[in-house]
Structures are given as C-alpha cells and as structure tokens.
Amino acid sequence: MSTSIRRDDVRKFIVDFLNRKLKEQRRALLGDVSDDYDMFQSGIIDSLAFVELITTASQHFGWEIDLEGFDPERMATVGPLCAYVSGELNLHPMKSFLPFVSTEC
C-alpha cells in the first residue's frame, strides 16, 4: 500500500472522528478538510479529545504511536497529523491494517 493511500486513510479516519464529535455536539458535519484545518481552533476537540483521537487511531491502525517525535502544537492541524501518522506507519509496518470503516449512521 502506498504512502498516499495510507495518508488518505488517516485523513478519512480523522474526519470521521471529528464528525462523531460534531454529532455529539449537535453541530453541522464536515465534508473534507484542508491540510491547515486546526482541530482546536475550530472548537471541535480539546486536549482530552485529542488524546482520545490518538488512542483511537492507534487502536484502529494496529500501531502504537511513538510520541517522542510528536509535536502537539503542530499536530493540531490535519495535514501535519496525517503526514506524521502515515510516516510512522511506513517506518514501522503495522501488525494488521484495518481498512477505514465509517461509523456514521
């Protein structure tokens, strides 16, 4: 699987996660988001929800996120977060890859 596909899978996963948070908040759902979309400034997630996002992503992709090279301020935007996660997936092959499955009703 190529890096761009993995990055797209990560993006789909993040947008789905954000849409679940928006649904909980009874707010309008997102379509696609730009690379510079700031998840904190948008008010969708806070630091606790961000930890939930990272934990959920680890479980979904079957991979433990190495937080040593992780810059939380930079990762608040979708593009850098997608690049970091997909880059880590390429450096450390996954135990198992679960294809993206939307949890929206």
Residue 77 reports pLDDT greater than 80? yes
pLDDT band (50, 70, 90) for residue 98: very low
Domains for the chain: give ranges and CATH numbers: 3-91 (1.10.1200.10)
Residue 62 to residue 73: CA distance in whole angstroms: 24
The pLDDT, as a whole number, for residue 72 is 75
Tell me the pLDDT tens digit for each residue of 34-76.
999 999 999 999 989 998 998 898 888 877 777 777 787 788 8
> Hey, what are 88's tokens?
């880590």
Least confident stretch, 12-16, 18-22, 55-59, 61-65: 61-65
For 45-92, give the DSSP string.
--HHHHHHHHHHHHHHHT----GGG--TTGGGBHHHHHHHHHHHHHHS
The answer to whether the CB of 44 falls within 8 A of the CB of 21 is yes
Residue 25 to residue 34: CA distance in whole angstroms: 21
The pLDDT, as a whole number, for residue 78 is 93
> Hey, what are 20's tokens?
């679940």
Burial class (CB in 10 A: 0-12, 13-18, 19+), 70: middle
